Amino acid sequence: MNTLRYALLAAGTLVCAAATAQTTIKIGYATSPQSHYGVGSTVFCEEVEKRTGGRYKCQQFPNSALGGEREMIEAVQLGTLDIVNTSTGPVGNFVPEVNIVDIPFLFRDYDHARKVLDGPIGDELRARFPAKGLIALAWTENGFRHMTNSKRPIVKPEDAKGLKIRSMQNKVHIQAFQSIGIQPTPMAFPELFTALQQGTVDGQENPIPVILSAKFAQVQKHLSLTGHVYSPALLIMSPALWNKLSDADKKAFTEAGKAGGAAQRRKVNEDEKNGIDELRKAGMNVVTNVDGAAFRAAMTPVWAEFAKQFGADNIRRIQEVK
């Protein structure tokens, strides 16, 4: 009788253990835990833990601890990293159609960008990822990108001519910068601060939240509010993890992704509101009278190239979202 009792007890313990087994998921991103990516990732992780009753919890790898965004996306594809919270910068190297969202001056403002990404167009773009061995769980946000450099204030495109500006590994950005005489230097984000410090490049371009969290004011004098590109971001998950999830857990992760994206956008709003003064106080010369019309006019020829690459109708469809 005792043997049966012990066997049942052991079986019961095993069942309980299985029911409360906890899986740790690894999530990586480029900037600090206090940054917009850190806030978005933390809310995502809290929501996952809550919505799965603690069966899944995160281990975060901030500050490019696992490499640049391109390397992290590759790791997600291989299944050695579960999730990356990344800008779309390098994503076009994996899912070429996504490069359409990186076209300069495509989005009018944050409201327009968020409406496009949260609507059918954003869903259609996310649906292209599984065929490339990636799961685009949710849109998060990086923000409108502005130029910084150590040489001179940039007011109009001519002022940027000849400057060596670091770009993301993004062919649309590279084409656009070349079209206005900038010398783009594609470089992974983790190398950027040192490159600016050593003068390997004269400048870079990033949203206010990144310029703040990466402390670029320590190595850059001039900030020009060009807002030349809206930089979306995404929570991208490994199919190795996604395919193991039950339907209920897939729903839980998807809802958690939306909550993370909303929190990240709120942090971007905050940084947009307070960040410029913070950067002035940190010693940056902030150029607010950038000639946006001149930048748009200078990029008209390369826009014709983008219309050929992505389809004028597809671009117009994005522009017409109100």
When asked if residue 30 is in the footprint of ligand EAX (CB under 6 A), the reply is yes
> Looking at beta carbons, which residue is closest to ligand EAX?
87
Q: Which is nearer to ligand EAX, 154 or 168 (CB)?
A: 168
CA 203 to chain centroid, in Å, comes to 20
Q: Scan residues 264-283 and list those touching ligand EAX (CB under 6 A).
A: none
In the complex, the smallest distance separating the C-beta of residue 257 from ligand EAX, rounded to whole angstroms, is 17
In the complex, the smallest distance separating the C-beta of residue 131 from ligand EAX, rounded to whole angstroms, is 24
When asked if residue 107 is in the footprint of ligand EAX (CB under 6 A), the reply is no
Q: Which is nearer to ligand EAX, 31 or 238 (CB)?
A: 31
Other CB atoms within 10 Å distance of the CB of residue 276: 19
Q: Which is nearer to ligand EAX, 168 or 252 (CB)?
A: 168
When asked if residue 148 is in the footprint of ligand EAX (CB under 6 A), the reply is no
- Which one of residues 87, 99, 140, 185 is an interface residue with ligand EAX (CB under 6 A)? 87
In the complex, the smallest distance separating the C-beta of residue 319 from ligand EAX, rounded to whole angstroms, is 23
Q: Are strands 164-167 and 183-186 parallel, antiparallel or unpaired?
A: parallel
Q: Scan residues 162-181 and list those touching ligand EAX (CB under 6 A).
A: 168
Mapping DSSP to helix (H, G, I), strand (E, B) and coil, where does residue 206 land? strand
Q: Which is nearer to ligand EAX, 168 or 217 (CB)?
A: 168
When asked if residue 142 is in the footprint of ligand EAX (CB under 6 A), the reply is yes
Question: Between vectors from CA 28 to CA 236 and to CA 272, what angle results, nearest 5°?
Answer: 85
- CB 265 within 8 Å of CB 141: yes
Q: Which is nearer to ligand EAX, 77 or 167 (CB)?
A: 167
Q: Which is nearer to ligand EAX, 167 or 238 (CB)?
A: 167
Structure tokens at 186: 């594609």
Residue 255, C-beta contacts closer than 8 angstroms, at least 6 positions apart:
47, 51
When asked if residue 69 is in the footprint of ligand EAX (CB under 6 A), the reply is yes
Q: How many CA atoms lie within 13 A of 263 on its CB side?
A: 22
In the complex, the smallest distance separating the C-beta of residue 52 from ligand EAX, rounded to whole angstroms, is 27
- CB 216 within 8 Å of CB 204: yes
Residue with token string 């913070």? 278
When asked if residue 210 is in the footprint of ligand EAX (CB under 6 A), the reply is yes
In the complex, the smallest distance separating the C-beta of residue 88 from ligand EAX, rounded to whole angstroms, is 9
Q: Which is nearer to ligand EAX, 148 or 238 (CB)?
A: 148
In the complex, the smallest distance separating the C-beta of residue 89 from ligand EAX, rounded to whole angstroms, is 5
d(CA 251, CA 247): 6
- CB 136 within 8 Å of CB 122: no
- CB 170 within 8 Å of CB 87: no
Residue 229, beta-bridge partner list: 145
- CB 164 within 8 Å of CB 202: yes
Mapping DSSP to helix (H, G, I), strand (E, B) and coil, where does residue 202 land? coil
When asked if residue 98 is in the footprint of ligand EAX (CB under 6 A), the reply is no
In the complex, the smallest distance separating the C-beta of residue 168 from ligand EAX, rounded to whole angstroms, is 5
Q: Which is nearer to ligand EAX, 73 or 245 (CB)?
A: 73
Dihedrals φ, ψ of 226, to 5°? -75, -35
Instruction: Give helix 247-281 / helix 36-51 axis angle, nearest 10°.
Output: 160
When asked if residue 63 is in the footprint of ligand EAX (CB under 6 A), the reply is no
Interface residue list for ligand EAX (CB under 6 A): 30-31, 69, 87, 89, 142, 168, 189, 206, 210, 231
